[in-house]
Amino acid sequence: MELLRGKALDVHATSRVSSSGSGDSLAVFTRFIAVFSLSGRQVQIVGRQPPVVYAGDDVVLVGEPDRTGIMRAICYINVTRGVGNVDQGPFLWILGGVLALVLSGIGLLSNLLVLLLSSPEEIARSGTLVALATVLPTLGIFLAGSWMLRRGRRIARAIRMIRDASKAALRK
C-alpha cells in the first residue's frame, strides 16, 4: 500500500458504470469512477458513491498499483472539501470474517466428533467421498472468512494511514 498526497490535477469527469446479470437473475450494480493525476501518478477511485475530487483539491489517498500502473484507491479523503470514503470502515468485513471462521471451526469440530464416535466399519462403509463432501465446504467457508478478515484489516490500516496524513496536512 502506498500513501499519495498532493493536488489533484487533470481530473476527468466522474463516470457512472452499471452492469447487470443475465437470464433469470437481474441485478444492477452501479459503480462511480473518477480518474485524475496526483503527485505525478495516474489515480483511479471506484466506489458506490460519486467521488468528490476537483482540480486543485488537496487529496490524501492510499492505494495499490494495478497491472497497468494505475493507482487504485483503497480509500481517500479530499482535505480541501472535507469529504472522502474513510467513513465506510472495515467493520462488516471483519465481522463477516470472524463469523465465517467461527462457523468453519464449529463445522470442523463436528466432523471430527462424528469421525471419533463412528466405528471403523461405519467409516469404511460411508467411504471417503462422504467425508470429503462434509469437510470441503467447511474449508471453503474458512478460506472465505480468512480472506474477508484480511481485507478488513487492510482497509483499517489504510484508513489509519489516511487519517494520520490528513491530520498532518491540516496542521500545515
Predicted pLDDT at 165: 80
* Residue 22 scores a pLDDT above 70: no
* 88-112: b (≥16 Cβ within 10 Å) or e: eebeebbebbeebbeebeebbeeee
Which ranges in 68-119 belong to alpha helices (H)? 91-117
Global pTM reads 0.61
Predicted pLDDT at 56: 87
Q: What are phi and psi of 13, to 5 degrees?
A: -60, 140
Tell me the C-alpha distance between 90 and 151, whole Å: 8
* DSSP-based three-state secondary structure for 1: coil
Per-residue CA distances from 120 to 109, 111, 115, 124 (Å): 19, 15, 9, 6
Per 3-state DSSP, the chain is made up of helix, strand and coil in percentages (nearest 5) of 45, 30, 25
For 35-79, how does the pLDDT look when each residue is reduced to its tens digit (9 = 90+)? Answer: 888 878 888 888 777 788 888 888 888 888 888 888 888 888 888
At residue 25 the predicted structure's pLDDT band, cuts being 50, 70 and 90, is low
For 111-156, how does the pLDDT look when each residue is reduced to its tens digit (9 = 90+)? Answer: 778 777 877 777 777 766 666 677 778 888 888 989 888 888 888 8
Tell me the C-alpha distance between 113 and 34, whole Å: 53
